[in-house]
Amino acid sequence: MIRPLVVGNWKMHKTVREAVDFVGRLKARLKEKGETTVAVAPPFTALYPVAEALKGSGIFLAAQNVCDREEGAYTGEVSACMLIDAGCEFVIVGHSERRAFFGEGNDLINRKIKAAAKYGLKPIFCVGETLYERESSETSAVVGRQLKEGLKDISASDAARIVIAYEPVWAIGTGKTATPGQAADVHVFIRETVEKMFGKDASQDVSVIYGGSVNPANIDALMAEQEINGVLVGGASLDVESFTRIAGD
Ligand code: PGA
């Protein structure tokens, strides 16, 4: 049984003060929860103060990016080891915004996943097709390639600890959500691909979550699908009330 996971991806939003204030209120609201693993992904500047504010809360910390290198003269980069040191449990890797705006390809994403796994940081590995690719019936080909290249040469035990986030690019920040059925179909395909690559045990342990315009109005229908193990939430994670509702209030 895979425990449901809800991750709030704040993207480039919130100052340190706003981030700490947010998690203070979130902690109070989520006190009684226990069924769902909840994590927030603030920008780098707020990671450590948020880690301090989250102590004892059971809410986890995620980073939004990681360098593929371990240490050295790489101005502007942050390593997996530093993220662990700052209190992170997870790191988002391969988000479509990083692929589109910062030129990240499957090779680099593969190295980032390996760098994270080496330090015990759990990657939340994002995959998903564009609208053009969906309409050209290329969803499986695109997602299949992202999985094969992104998870190349990873051990089955590391693969089992990875969270895979299916995020159709056309549903991110657009208000268009994949129907629960559309998402579930791709989730089945993702789990089958993981099974082919790493075997049945790994495929049963991998958590496959959905992202793309998740909000309080559509969360119940999405989570009703057995194949959907959780959600990665952007816009609706910036507000305590809506994120609490999504995380199980
Ligand atoms: P959204 O973003 O919920 O604002 O669509 C999701 C994501 O980018 O992870």
Torsion angles phi and psi, residue 43, rounded to 5: -65, 165
Give the pLDDT band (50/70/90) at residue 190: very high
Distance CA 194, CA 156 (A): 9
Examine the pLDDT at 34 and tell me if it is beyond 80: no
pLDDT tens string 158-180 = 999 999 999 999 999 888 888 99
Closest residue to atom 2 of ligand 1, CA basis: 234
Distance (angstroms) between ligand 1 centre and the Cα of 113 equals 20
Distance CA 42, CA 238 (A): 10
What SS3 class is residue 103?
coil
Domain 5-246 is found in CATH 3.40.50.1820: no
Could you give the angle at the alpha carbon of 10 between the alpha carbons of 8 and 11, nearest 5°? 130
Give the pLDDT band (50/70/90) at residue 33: low
Out of 6, 172, 210, 214, mutate this one to test ligand 1's pocket (max ligand atoms within 8 Å of CB): namely: 172
Out of 5, 6, 9, mutate this one to test ligand 1's pocket (max ligand atoms within 8 Å of CB): namely: 9
pLDDT tens string 43-90 = 999 999 999 999 999 999 999 999 999 999 999 999 999 999 999 999
pLDDT tens string 80-131 = 999 999 999 999 999 999 999 999 999 999 999 999 999 999 999 999 999 9
pLDDT recorded at residue 32:
60
Cβ burial 147-157 (10 Å sphere, 16+ → b, else e): beebbeebeee
pLDDT tens string 213-243 = 999 999 999 999 999 999 999 999 999 999 9
Distance CA 201, CA 223 (A): 23
Distance (angstroms) between ligand 1 centre and the Cα of 213 equals 6
The pTM assigned to this predicted structure is 0.97
**Which residues are known catalytic residues?**
95, 167
